[in-house]
Amino acid sequence: MFSTAAAIVVFTMCVRLALHPLARAAVRGERVRAALAPRMAELNRKHRSDPDRLRRELERMRAQEGASPVAGCLPMFLQLPVFFAMYHLFTTDEALLGHTLLGAPLGGRWFGALEAGGVLGGPGLVYVGLFLLVGAVATWTFVRTRRLMADAPALAPAAAPGPSAGVPAAPGGAAMGRMLPLLSFGTLVTVAVVPLAAALYVVTSTTWTAVERAALRAGRPEAAAPAAASRGRRSTT
């Protein structure tokens, strides 16, 4: 029943549309944090011997500029109840267990599709399509993230001349920086192990996130940075 699968996709898009203001706020926060990087490095240089003072000063600066460190995680966390509800419905509701997408049960999983007809069987091809879409989105996200991280040194205080140069990075930061772009490929594992209905939700949400972030970052990337930078100059005069 294709209509049920289509309803899941439309429902997912409605959820993401409702969360769009939070996504916009998250991208604005990224721009503000990038603009604040030199000031954060200066605080680190001045108060590196007093961790408590450094923490208070950083928290005060973030509060003044509205740069919440958790803003970017809110859209993901707020989706979790919806995802788990979808997972529960299509594993326990007898009326929904019989719904299919091109022969693949919405309550079934990839391994079941392989047992039913192999990779090239009807259900298997549904998952092949999902894996290809997720792989394309993950690759695009990976390339964009690597490009953004490659541009980050231009904004990072350690690369800038002056008293803030040479500030050591946080322990484990380099390893985290290498791993972060690879996280987008974790969706492939999720799609393989959850029921197909939940996989449709994940694929739709992941695709929406990639397109949404690209559109928002291409909007007015310079809008937040000059404002934060000008406030930083006023605070130092």
Summarised one tens digit per residue, pLDDT across range 17-60 is 998 888 887 777 777 766 667 777 777 777 777 777 777 777 77
Asked, for residue 74, whether it belongs to a domain, the answer is: yes
| CA–CA gap between residue 164 and residue 236 (Å, rounded) | 15
- Give the pLDDT confidence of 198-214 residue by residue, as tens digits: 999 999 999 998 898 88
Q: Does 159 score more than 70 pLDDT? A: no
- Each as own residue / partner, the long-range contacts of residues 37-46 (CB below 8 Å, 24 or more positions apart, any chain) are 37/155, 37/156, 37/157, 38/157, 38/160, 38/164, 38/232, 39/232, 40/157, 41/156, 41/157, 41/158, 41/160, 41/164, 41/167, 42/157, 42/163, 42/164, 44/164, 44/167, 45/163, 45/164, 45/167
Q: Is the pTM of this model over 0.95?
A: no
Asked, for residue 3, whether it belongs to a domain, the answer is: no
Please tell me the predicted confidence (pLDDT) of residue 30: 72
| CA–CA gap between residue 220 and residue 37 (Å, rounded) | 19
Asked, for residue 39, whether it belongs to a domain, the answer is: yes
Please tell me the predicted confidence (pLDDT) of residue 178: 61
* Region 65-77 average pLDDT: 66
| CA–CA gap between residue 235 and residue 224 (Å, rounded) | 17
Please tell me the predicted confidence (pLDDT) of residue 231: 47
Asked, for residue 1, whether it belongs to a domain, the answer is: no
Domain that holds residue 215: 8-236
Please tell me the predicted confidence (pLDDT) of residue 193: 92
- Give the pLDDT confidence of 177-197 residue by residue, as tens digits: 566 567 778 889 999 999 999
Please tell me the predicted confidence (pLDDT) of residue 142: 85
Asked, for residue 174, whether it belongs to a domain, the answer is: yes
Asked, for residue 169, whether it belongs to a domain, the answer is: yes
Split into its structural domains, the chain has a count of 1
Please tell me the predicted confidence (pLDDT) of residue 69: 59
Asked, for residue 2, whether it belongs to a domain, the answer is: no
H/E/C letters for each residue in 185-218?
A: HHHHHHHHHCCHHHHHHHHHHHHHHHHHHHHHHC
